[in-house]
Amino acid sequence: MDGKVIAITGASSGIGAALAELLAGKGARVALVARRQQELGEVAARCGPEALPIVADVTRREQVEGALAACLERFGHVDAWVNNAGRGITRLVSELTDDDFDEMMRVNVKSALYGMQAVLPHFRARGRGHIINVSSMLGRLPLATVRSAYNAAKHALNSLTADLRIELRPQYPEIHVTCVHPGVVATGFGRHARHGGADSRQVPGAQTAVEVAQVIAEVIEHPRADVYTRPGAQQMVVSYYAAEDMALAEQQPPFVSAHVPR
């Protein structure tokens, strides 16, 4: 990890901040991208003098491209780009508005698409690189129905990640594309969801942001395609999709309680 240049979006809090601090502690040079200038500066200060805070709205393509340019100007290259920015929602499918759905796609999918497309020419020119998209277990399993459009956005992100990986493999086998699937994480995610919601920090068994960051740091050092941050999570996914009747599977734990308190 020593000396690697890693850009992280959504780096002003939560998983992104924890990952930035962890990687900086391992000797990486980190570029931190987020909208909130004060919080971003505080995280960068904890990461040390080489950390580069970049204030940008990653739902705007030109600002993502500007963030990459700032990173290249400071460090000369990028080794890994982590698309971590995201936001949840608390609204059932039957209640969704156009604005609800559009925002979930903009924040959770288009921001990552902009990051992937911005950094790809640089990685192609170098012949190597690593794109990491932070998805969610909710992009694999219907474990929280009130997250509705967020779940759909993460499903879309999963597909784009796999499609890009397959696209690049024949000509660029050293450009790795990874999808990471955390479960509930003890951050402000739930409280800051569109339309509000339960505080994720109060959910029993929630992982810490540091625990998730440790998984992401490990996959940067040892790239893999698809990564789950909780033991047993991948087997849950396999069992669900192997079920002869998903509707019957959804009547059993953990799906019978597939809701998030409002």
Catalytic machinery residues: 150
Which residues are within 8 A (CB) of 194 and not within 5 positions of it... i.e. 6 or more apart? 87, 88, 89, 90, 91, 100, 103, 104
From residue 82, how far is each of 88, 135, 155, 174, 213 by CA, in Å? 18, 11, 18, 16, 11
Assess contact for 57 and 33: CB atoms under 8 A.
no
Sign of the alpha-carbon torsion through 66, 212, 132, 108: negative
Residue of 209, 195, 113, 189 lying closest to 153 (CA atoms) = 113
